[in-house]
Structure 1
C-alpha cells in the first residue's frame, strides 16, 4: 500500500462512517497522511480525527475510534493506533508488498507516476507580469496543476517576449484581465529570456528560475553549467543518466529488473535502499503539494533528494555484479529500484520543462 493508497483508504473510512451515521460531518475532499516522525508510532500518521471533531461535535478521540474500526479491517493495514489527542497511526502490513506496490506503480505509470485527479474540479486562471521568471514559473505551475487534473488558462499583462517560446513558455491571453486572477509573482530574474538563453541555454535557465522559492532571488550564474556534483541540476540529470546506463549494462549481462528475490537480496529494501524507496513513495504527495501551493521549487528539491539517495544506494548496493560475480536476485531487485528512481527523475524534470538526457 502506497501513501496515496492509504490516504484514499482513510477517506473511504470517513465516507463510510458518515454514510452509516456514525459521524455527522462533511466528508473532506482529501485526507493527508504523513510519514511518522522519529520516535512516533507506526509507519504513517493522520490528523483527520482532529479535523472532524468540531463539525461532528464529538471528542477527537471518539472520532478516531470510529475511524480506527473501519480502517483496521482494510487489506494492507496491519495495525491502527490512536495516539495523543486523537491522531491515527498506521502500521502497514507486509512491508514487502508495500514496496512492490510502489515499484509496480512507477513501472506501470512511467513518467506519469504521481499524476492524479485531485484537482479535477478546479478551473484555474493565472496571470503574470511580462517578466521571464514569472512567465517560466506560470508555465511550470500550469504543468503541475494539469498533471493533477485541473484545467488552466494563463494570461500575461503585456505581449509576450518572443524568446519565451525558446524556453517552452506559452501564454493564452494578453492584457489586463477583466476580473482579478490568481497572480504568479516571483522575485524578478533581473535578466531577459534572450540573455539567459545565450548564457545558460534553456534547461539550466529554467532550473535556475524554478529551483529557488518564489520569494527568493534566483541564482543565474555560470555555476548552473558546471559538470560536477556541486551543481544540483547536473547531479539530478546525471543520476537519471546513470540509472538508464544500469539498465543497458544489465541487458548486456543478460538480466532485467525484478523484485522477487526468493529470500535473497535487499527485499524488503533496507539500509541505503530504504531512503530512496521512501522518497519514491512520497513523490506523488510532493507533486500534489507543488500543484496546490503553486510551488515548482518543491519538485526541484524533491528531485535533488532522490538523486542524492540514488547515489548513496548505488554505492552501497551496486545493481550490477562486479568482476566474475553472476547476476543474482538481489541485483534484479536493486535494478528495479534504480530504474524507478530514474523514472521519477525524468518525470519530475519533464514537469519542470527540463530535458532528462539518457547520456551525459
Structure 2
C-alpha cells in the first residue's frame, strides 16, 4: 500500500463519518492529509496527524476523533492495525501482502513510476539561462543549466506541460564589440581595449575566415557586420553543442532581437508591445519618457521604459518578453536568475501586476547563489580559452558530466557552494553520486547473475507479496513507495535536490536490506519463491534509482 492509497483511504473514512453523522466538519473534508513514515521503530509503517488537524472544527477531543477514524480505517483492505498514540496521532501498520505489492506495481510501471498528475493542465515556461552569444558558457551558467533542467524534469513528472527557454542576449553594444574583436583578430590587428579577450576569439576568427575566405576583403562597414553575424552564429552553435553534451536541452532559443523588429526601428516590437499595456492604467508619460508605475505594486520606484531620447531600457525588453510569453499561452513564467539579481524580484512581480496578471501565480523568480570550484586547495578562476572565468566545457572535461550535474543538483539553489574537484570525482561511498550509481550497478549485476542461474524476478500470479515480511524488506518497500511524493514535492517547491537526497537515503536502505536478506541461492540451494520475490524487490529498487537519476539528468550505469 502506497502513501497515496492510504491518503485516499483516510479521505474516504472521513467522508463516511460525515455522511453517517458521526462527526461534523464545518470546513468539509480536507483536500490534504499528512501521511508520513514514523521516525521511530514500533510506531507502525505510516503515521498521520489528521485527528489533531480536524479536532477543533469537529468539536471533539483529538483522541476521540482519532479513535473514530481508527475504527473505520482498520476495516480497510490492506491495513493490519491502527493505533491511537499520544495526543491523537494515528500509527498505521500495513499488511505484508499490501506492502509487498508495491514492488510489483513499480516494476510494472517502469520508467513512468514517480509520475503524478498534481500539476496536470498547467503550462509552464522556465527560462534558466540568459546569455550573451559572445563567449563560452561559464561556471555561473553551469549551475543553472543543471538546476533549471532538473526543475523542468520534476515539473514534467508532476504532470505540467513545460517549455525550457534560453534567452539569447543578441542585441546591443556588446554584440558590436564582439564582432569588432573577432574582426581585429582575423585581420591581425590589436583587439579593442574594451573588446573581448581570450584565445577563443582567435579560434572564432580563424573559423569565420575558413568558412568565408572573402570576408576580409569586404568594405569596412559591411565587413564588420559580416564578422559580427558569422561569429554570433558560430558561438551560439557552440553553446548549443556544449549544453547538449551536458544533457541540458532547450525547447526554445529566444532571440532578443525578435522583440525589437529591425535593429534601428524602436517604434515596433518592444515599443508596440508596451503600448498595449496602456489600457491597464499603469503606464504614464513624464519628461518625454514612458514610465511604468510599478510602485503601485510594491516596487521601490517607478521604472522607465522608453527614455526621452527614444532609447529603450532593459526593463522595457524584460516587460515585452514577459508579455510575449503570456501571449504564447503560458500559465506561469519561471525565471532563474543569478545572485546579483535580487533587486529584480520585486520589479518583475510589479511588472506582471502592471500587465494585469497575478504576480503570485503568473510569474515566479528564483535566485541562485554562486559556486566556487576548488582544485588542489585553490579556486578555479582562469580559463585557458576565455581568459577569465572557467568554462562549462573545461569543467566537464575536468570533472565529468555525471558528477558535476549530480553535485550541483543535490544542494538548494539558494545556498552558496564551495566544491572540491577531488571530492566530486573520487570513486568511494563518500561521494554521493558514486554511492547512488554504484547501488544501481550492483543491482544490475545481481539481476545478471540471477539470469545466469536461470532465476527471474517473480511476476503475475507467481508473486506472493506476503513473503516480503523481513523488517529490512518493509523499510525498503516503504522507501520505494515514497518516491512519487518526493517527486511531487520537488516539483511543487522547485527543489530537485530533494530527489538527490532521497536517492542517497534509498541506496543506503537498499544496501542494508541486501546485507540482511539473501537474494540469490547459495551453493546447491534450490531457488525458492522467496528468492524470486526478493529479486522483484531488487528490480523495483533499480527502477526507482534509475528514474530518480534521470530526473537529475544523470546516467544509471549497469557496470562500474
Matched, 1:315 2:497: no
**Secondary structure in 1 aligned to 2:84?**
strand
**Secondary structure in 2 aligned to 1:35?**
coil
Q: Within 2, Cα distance between the matches of 1:61 and 1:338?
A: 40
Higher radius of gyration, 1 or 2: 2
Matched, 1:279 2:461: no
Q: Which runs of 5+ in 1 are unaligned?
A: none
In the TM superposition, residue 122 of structure 1 has moved relative to its aligned partner by 4.0
Query: How many aligned positions are there?
Result: 357
Of stretches 115-124 and 150-159 in structure 1, the one that deviates more from structure 2 is: 150-159
| Distance of aligned partners of 1:326 and 1:349 in 2 relative to their CA distance in 1, 3 Å threshold | same
Matched, 1:212 2:411: yes
Check whether the contact 1:71–1:80 (CA below 8 A) recurs between aligned residues.
yes
Matched, 1:185 2:367: yes
Check whether the contact 1:138–1:184 (CA below 8 A) recurs between aligned residues.
no
Structure 1 ranges of 4+ moved more than 6 A: 259-263
| Distance of aligned partners of 1:140 and 1:85 in 2 relative to their CA distance in 1, 3 Å threshold | same
2:159 aligned residue: 149
In the TM superposition, residue 62 of structure 1 has moved relative to its aligned partner by 5.3
In the TM superposition, residue 235 of structure 1 has moved relative to its aligned partner by 2.1
1:196 aligned residue: 395
Q: CA RMSD in A?
A: 3.1
Of stretches 227-236 and 53-62 in structure 1, the one that deviates more from structure 2 is: 53-62
Q: Within 1, Cα distance between the matches of 2:476 and 2:439?
A: 12
Check whether the contact 2:168–2:253 (CA below 8 A) recurs between aligned residues.
no
| Distance of aligned partners of 1:67 and 1:40 in 2 relative to their CA distance in 1, 3 Å threshold | same
In the TM superposition, residue 207 of structure 1 has moved relative to its aligned partner by 0.8
In the TM superposition, residue 192 of structure 1 has moved relative to its aligned partner by 3.7
**Secondary structure in 2 aligned to 1:149?**
coil
1:254 aligned residue: 454
Q: Within 2, Cα distance between the matches of 1:11 and 1:156?
A: 43
Q: Which runs of 5+ in 2 are unaligned?
A: 131-140, 170-235, 257-317, 324-351, 353-358, 373-389
**Secondary structure in 1 aligned to 2:92?**
strand
Q: Within 1, Cα distance between the matches of 2:484 and 2:418?
A: 26
Check whether the contact 2:147–2:496 (CA below 8 A) recurs between aligned residues.
yes
Matched, 1:139 2:141: no
2:104 aligned residue: 104
Matched, 1:359 2:541: no
**Secondary structure in 1 aligned to 2:404?**
helix
Q: Within 2, Cα distance between the matches of 1:88 and 1:291?
A: 28
In the TM superposition, residue 295 of structure 1 has moved relative to its aligned partner by 1.4
Of stretches 122-131 and 200-209 in structure 1, the one that deviates more from structure 2 is: 122-131
Q: Within 2, Cα distance between the matches of 1:290 and 1:90?
A: 25
* 1:5-43 superposed Cα distances (whole Å, 9 cap, x missing partner): 111211233344456664232443332201123266433
**Secondary structure in 1 aligned to 2:467?**
coil
Q: Within 2, Cα distance between the matches of 1:55 and 1:156?
A: 49
